[in-house]
Amino acid sequence: MSDLTVRRLDPSPDQLRYVFGGGEPLLRIEPGTVVELTTEDCFGGRVRGVDDLPSRVCDFPRLNPVTGPIHVAGAEPGDLLAVHFADIRPRRDWAVSTTFPHFGALTTTHSTAMLHPPLDEVVWMYDVDVERGVVRYRARRSEFEVDLPLDPMHGTVGVAPAAGEVVMSITPAAHGGNMDTPELRAGTTIYLPVNVEGAMLAIGDGHCRQGEGEVCGTAVEAAMETVIVVDVVKDAQLAWPRLESDEFVMSTGSVRPLEDAYRISQHDLVGWTAELLGLDPLDALQLVSQAGLAPVGNVVDTNYTMVAKLPSSILGAARPYDGLHSRLRETARSYLAER
Amino acid sequence: MSDLTVRRLDPSPDQLRYVFGGGEPLLRIEPGTVVELTTEDCFGGRVRGVDDLPSRVCDFPRLNPVTGPIHVAGAEPGDLLAVHFADIRPRRDWAVSTTFPHFGALTTTHSTAMLHPPLDEVVWMYDVDVERGVVRYRARRSEFEVDLPLDPMHGTVGVAPAAGEVVMSITPAAHGGNMDTPELRAGTTIYLPVNVEGAMLAIGDGHCRQGEGEVCGTAVEAAMETVIVVDVVKDAQLAWPRLESDEFVMSTGSVRPLEDAYRISQHDLVGWTAELLGLDPLDALQLVSQAGLAPVGNVVDTNYTMVAKLPSSILGAARPYDGLHSRLRETARSYLAER
Amino acid sequence: MSDLTVRRLDPSPDQLRYVFGGGEPLLRIEPGTVVELTTEDCFGGRVRGVDDLPSRVCDFPRLNPVTGPIHVAGAEPGDLLAVHFADIRPRRDWAVSTTFPHFGALTTTHSTAMLHPPLDEVVWMYDVDVERGVVRYRARRSEFEVDLPLDPMHGTVGVAPAAGEVVMSITPAAHGGNMDTPELRAGTTIYLPVNVEGAMLAIGDGHCRQGEGEVCGTAVEAAMETVIVVDVVKDAQLAWPRLESDEFVMSTGSVRPLEDAYRISQHDLVGWTAELLGLDPLDALQLVSQAGLAPVGNVVDTNYTMVAKLPSSILGAARPYDGLHSRLRETARSYLAER
Amino acid sequence: MSDLTVRRLDPSPDQLRYVFGGGEPLLRIEPGTVVELTTEDCFGGRVRGVDDLPSRVCDFPRLNPVTGPIHVAGAEPGDLLAVHFADIRPRRDWAVSTTFPHFGALTTTHSTAMLHPPLDEVVWMYDVDVERGVVRYRARRSEFEVDLPLDPMHGTVGVAPAAGEVVMSITPAAHGGNMDTPELRAGTTIYLPVNVEGAMLAIGDGHCRQGEGEVCGTAVEAAMETVIVVDVVKDAQLAWPRLESDEFVMSTGSVRPLEDAYRISQHDLVGWTAELLGLDPLDALQLVSQAGLAPVGNVVDTNYTMVAKLPSSILGAARPYDGLHSRLRETARSYLAER
């Protein structure tokens, strides 16, 4: 591991950002670098007890802070950025979830506008036990408690958007952003399109765990200590973020309505499968139709996110980007073992 | 098992039905009965080779035949019908999938109407190997082949709709119907609302396996030999079909757009969880938000289907309907063991 | 006019129907017949004062009664039925509108399911003044009053659906039904696909007037005295209902989500325009893009309805179905003048 | 009119912008100023004949240029900006419309992703005759021609978005942008929320006319000479753009799916009506339900736009913002008369 470059990024509160696009790099790295970074939770760490209602203690639009941007040397439009998540670890022994007025899938929102008053704003505090690998759910209005498995992930990972846009960090779109899929856990590589020189990666919104869809609007929100390995694939155009784990290749789509997010993710996975296996598009469509999975990411953000998954076992020896995921995984394992 | 009533239902081709609602019972049973039944595939068994294009050999609206209706004595509006799937077994050593003009999620349809000509109509024949537990996919336009796990399920299970409606069997809605979720496999119990005296259960559309969403419009379609155990819960109102396996309780929603199907399924699961655990609705919303899964059923039928799943382990000792699923599971196991 | 056949249809309350499809004809007519018929309001006439909350006085699913079915001799699948509305006249000097729990575009519904309690159920009584051509709106919770123009229409007009379906009268779909478009006023001809022998026409849900979208869920609901002229066009396939007035040709689409209803209606209008003017489909698309109107029908029913309108002036001398609308309009004028 | 300030803004090609938000003001004005400005067409003037396919001659993302931003002194977040359109006049005797690959409501797009190849890319050239008040449509693939009424409008009007966002000019959202509604013609005032100091108004995308929905993706696109009068209302929060003409007050909503755009626009109009008439929200809902219109804006852009209209006659003497529209209209009339 002597040849691994390792960098650390631990932003101060006033260095946190709330958008993708624009701004100056907080860190500049070369491809192949390991970055150890910290992220704050989506409330900026301000919701610390059941009386800290986010609509009072938080300051819109200073929500969902991200750590970055990280400038990756040599990344240019037309390339893709590969970010392997080596480790995601809660930084505190507590985490928090809330309802939030006009946010969530089962409430009137600013988009699905209705004449109802908002639902109650309620805060749930979770105990986080990294040793035991659980978080503790406690009902607020009765005595029920239960442990849920700890399964850390990042809701928000992205790069600067195309066309000079600057987009709130709570929006998921073609540049990544707030996709809020539990698939983005340690052991997974995300592939992102590069839209500007240096790519300008940023990461935030750690979750100790999250249900599919994030139906109430927030997950088990936590500040994280995260280790990533970053690389660049030259001349590898990508329309939407893709993920790869040891078991699955995954396409994403983030748009409304939800069926269009489904269409984008499936369309991308069909094209990717056709390319990897040398299949005709309709043959790939058939294969994905029978072997694919389609878990929801989020149905609460400004765009909804769907994930389309195909077991890598079906690919035989074919692997995306010449096996880049495996190489990054191996780098990560070595680094973590020697650390 | 001496006290188990077992009935057999093996309809002739002209006894197959294509709607839910209306018509005379093909079989009358008491609650607690085991029924061994056969179903034909969604093409009526007419697509038997790659040249049997469904638009030529099939006869709309005689598509997606169902076996039934089965009249269940004592089932009345306001009750629910429980149907446990004990066994689902392909009847042939082949199965079939196709594209179909104006059908599927990645093509212009009669609803998502566009000016494109339809995609090519293509037939894929699968080998079915029950012994090895696989089906064999073969590309049509190249040499690629791969085995996929056999995972038999029924796309279509339902009862007579409310309000005197008669609905095509390809439509999923509150009465069940063509939900096309892979969760409806052997070992699972489905709970359906009873809308008419006798419930009038019907089953069809067997799949050797299916990806989530059924993106091309059809699964690995097969005629099935299926064993169910049927029961009735009195005075147990249900808005939408629910499922239960040994590992999960599951709610469904079937409507368009897809986010409304998601809302229905999540809303039902939140209410169900609140009831099972004695939780306040917002506490149940929080728990489902963090612990729930949300796989797509179908995004191709006249309504789209979402499934909302919660691990039963979270429920502690609480189980729906006084543990009915476990009892039916046990009945099924005993019956199959002794058969 | 001596050769005009005139029939009268004035159903008793127990002859009212609540579905399209199935059932015996209430009247049998020949093509070319004038029918004078009465319809009851969508509440069955049971909401007669501000204290008559529909959820109490009405009896689901006995909502939205229709008058019919009318069997039209010679109408067969593959033909179209033309129904010209000669006159629509309120039968009472009052009309009524209400909110209804879980119904409407700005409230949680059974499909757009949310955790809010329903909005208040409120009844508004309108005075109807046919002489002055106005209805009187009165606020319930303040003193405001205003006259609105009387503009009578039928929300519900349809035939028996295809494929043996029986569909609640509140559903709009390819067979017509509860489209709830204000365009369906006197002076307009509706073209409907014939799906069964005799077509089986039924009409209901009169409105003294209605805003586009019917956002609260109900219009100014009234029992009507209506005069229609009915005709058949042989071998004239139709996918969705079309309308024609002296000024516009109009296509409709009824489905969810609303953009798919828009797509259907525009797609049909593009095809219709291409056919009428002998245009290439893309040339017709261009013409409709610049000259078409797109008012909403309803965004509250089980399917949403969009209307696509093209000024007939653009068509030059071309008119649909050999000028059938003009002929029926002339028949209607003569009949009404001589009556 | 001696006290009217008049400014002229005629940007050079390299001064055109393609986003809302960010950048330096091209012009600084005081409230009450008349601005005469020019806009380029959505293709940057590069499509000048039927062989100029936009995918070849245009340079993404340099599409849909806007003129501005205009800094309005004293406009601060929490205020609203009023922009009255006094005159919109085509600058050339031709205009142009096209299909565009992966754009439009009746074609596969990047969001409604399908496996079809794109529709043909076709250009239609229009003659513009300001004297006669018509544009000339000519079919490309047959001999048909027809005059359509000239009805100039701007597809794109907006201000800098909130939260530091920079958004492509082709996107309509809460800040205005590419709403593409034919209602934005001369004689109309648009009210926009102020999100940043100076508001930063920009205008583009002139259309000689447009059908509702802009179904093919483009209107009769033209460079315009436009006269506006700009004013500020202090402390007047606005969630979404509103319009006012002499006949109507209008709310807009721009989001996907289309029913949510409908909900936003209707919800805003209900609230606005309640405020203007001192009505309870449900009374306002009832009034809008019966008296409102709901034309589509666009169903092709990154967000879809709906308009909700209420006749001003219903408001009695009540007028928004103390009759600001009438005052601006009068200023505009005087200015144009004396010019």
Q: Which two tokens stand for residue C119?
A: 């909005």
Taking the C-alpha atoms of residue D187 and residue D221, their distance in angstroms, rounded to an integer, is 20
Does residue C114 sit at the A interface (CB-CB below 8 Å)? yes
C61 — pLDDT class (breaks 50, 70, 90): confident
Domain assignment present for B68: yes
D339 — pLDDT class (breaks 50, 70, 90): confident
Taking the C-alpha atoms of residue B255 and residue B242, their distance in angstroms, rounded to an integer, is 15
Look at residue B71 in the predicted model and tell me its pLDDT: 98
Domain assignment present for B1: no
Domain assignment present for C175: yes
Angle formed at CA B246 by CA B243 and CA B247, multiple of 5 degrees: 85
Domain assignment present for C278: no
If contacts are CB pairs under 8 Å, which of residues 118-177 in chain D contact chain C?
119-120, 122, 124, 135, 137, 139-142, 144, 146, 148
Determine contact, residues A191/A242, Cβ cutoff 8 Å.
Answer: yes
Does residue C336 sit at the A interface (CB-CB below 8 Å)? no
A94 — pLDDT class (breaks 50, 70, 90): very high
Closest by alpha carbon to B222, among B199, B205, B246?
Answer: B205
Look at residue D171 in the predicted model and tell me its pLDDT: 98
Does residue C219 sit at the D interface (CB-CB below 8 Å)? yes
What pLDDT, in 10s, does the model give residues C177-203? Answer: 999 999 999 999 999 999 999 999 999
* CB spacing of B112 vs D112 below 8 angstroms: yes
Determine contact, residues C81/C191, Cβ cutoff 8 Å.
Answer: yes
Mean pLDDT computed over A61-82: 97
What pLDDT, in 10s, does the model give residues A291-300? Answer: 999 999 999 9
A2 — pLDDT class (breaks 50, 70, 90): low
Look at residue D3 in the predicted model and tell me its pLDDT: 80
Alpha-carbon radius of gyration of chain C: 19
For chain B, the chains sharing at least 3 beta-carbon pairs closer than 8 angstroms are A, C, D
Mean pLDDT of chain C: 97
List, in order, residues 6 or more apart from D67 with CB less than 8 Å away. D9, D11, D16, D26, D37, D38, D39, D40, D202, D203, D204
Nearest chain A residue to B210 by CA: give it. A290
pLDDT over threshold 80, residue A1: no
Nearest chain B residue to A256 by CA: give it. B259
Which helix H or strand E contains B267, and what residues bound it?
A: helix B258-277
Nearest chain A residue to D110 by CA: give it. A264
Look at residue B155 in the predicted model and tell me its pLDDT: 98
Chain B residues touching C260 at Cβ < 8 A: 111-113, 256
Q: What is the 3-state secondary structure (H, E, C) of D215-260?
A: CCCCCCECCEEEEEEEEEECCCCCCCCEEECCCEEEEEEEECCHHH
Does residue D78 sit at the A interface (CB-CB below 8 Å)? no
Domain assignment present for A34: yes
pLDDT over threshold 90, residue C3: no
Taking the C-alpha atoms of residue D264 and residue C258, their distance in angstroms, rounded to an integer, is 14
Taking the C-alpha atoms of residue A1 and residue A8, their distance in angstroms, rounded to an integer, is 17
Taking the C-alpha atoms of residue A222 and residue A232, their distance in angstroms, rounded to an integer, is 29
Question: What residues pair up with D80 in beta bridges, in sequence order?
Answer: D193, D233
Look at residue B61 in the predicted model and tell me its pLDDT: 85
Does residue B256 sit at the D interface (CB-CB below 8 Å)? no
For chain C, the chains sharing at least 3 beta-carbon pairs closer than 8 angstroms are A, B, D
Q: What percent of chain A has pLDDT above 70?
A: 99
* CB spacing of A164 vs D167 below 8 angstroms: no
* CB spacing of B114 vs D113 below 8 angstroms: no
For chain D, the chains sharing at least 3 beta-carbon pairs closer than 8 angstroms are A, B, C
Q: What is the ipTM of this complex?
A: 0.98
Determine contact, residues A173/A165, Cβ cutoff 8 Å.
Answer: no
* CB spacing of B140 vs A219 below 8 angstroms: no
Mean pLDDT of chain A: 97
What angle in degrees, to the nearest 10, is found between the helix axes of D281-291 and D258-277?
120
Look at residue B339 in the predicted model and tell me its pLDDT: 84
Which helix H or strand E contains D291, and what residues bound it?
A: helix D281-291
Domain assignment present for D74: yes
What pLDDT, in 10s, does the model give residues C303-332? Answer: 999 999 999 999 999 999 999 999 999 999
Does residue A19 sit at the D interface (CB-CB below 8 Å)? yes
DSSP 8-class letter at A164: T
pLDDT over threshold 90, residue D47: yes
A76: domain CATH number is 2.60.120.580
DSSP alpha helices (H): ranges in C243-317? 258-277, 281-291
Look at residue C2 in the predicted model and tell me its pLDDT: 55
| pTM for the structure as a whole | 0.98
Domain assignment present for A262: no
Angle formed at CA A317 by CA A315 and CA A319, multiple of 5 degrees: 70
D71 — pLDDT class (breaks 50, 70, 90): very high
Phi-psi region of D133 (alpha: psi -120 to 50; beta: other; left: phi over 0): left
pLDDT over threshold 80, residue A113: yes
Looking at the 3D structure of chain B, how many domains does it have?
1
Domain assignment present for D1: no
Mean pLDDT computed over D115-132: 98
Does residue D59 sit at the A interface (CB-CB below 8 Å)? no
Residue C269, CA distances (Å) to C15, C266, C294 in order: 37, 5, 11
How many other CB atoms sit within 10 Å of the CB of residue B95?
27
* CB spacing of C296 vs D270 below 8 angstroms: no
Closest CA of chain A from D111, distance in Å:
6
Look at residue D1 in the predicted model and tell me its pLDDT: 47
Chain C residues touching A116 at Cβ < 8 A: 107-108, 114, 116-117, 119
* CB spacing of D108 vs B116 below 8 angstroms: yes
| Structural domain span for residue C153 | 6-241+321-338
Q: Spell out the per-residue pLDDT of chain B, length 339, in tens.
A: 458 999 999 999 999 999 999 999 999 999 999 999 999 999 999 999 999 999 999 988 899 999 999 999 999 999 999 999 999 999 999 999 999 999 999 999 999 999 999 999 999 999 999 999 999 999 999 999 999 999 999 999 999 999 999 999 999 999 999 999 999 999 999 999 999 999 999 999 999 999 999 999 999 999 999 999 999 999 999 999 999 999 999 999 999 999 999 999 999 999 999 999 999 999 999 999 999 999 999 999 999 999 999 999 999 999 999 999 999 999 999 999 998
Question: What residues pair up with C127 in beta bridges, in sequence order?
Answer: C94, C136
Phi-psi region of D144 (alpha: psi -120 to 50; beta: other; left: phi over 0): beta
Q: Which site among A102, A107, A115, A300 would you substitute to test the C interface, given the most C Cβ atoms closer than 10 Å to its Cβ?
A: A115
Q: What percent of chain C has pLDDT above 70?
A: 99
What pLDDT, in 10s, does the model give residues A204-218? Answer: 999 999 999 999 999
pLDDT over threshold 70, residue D54: yes
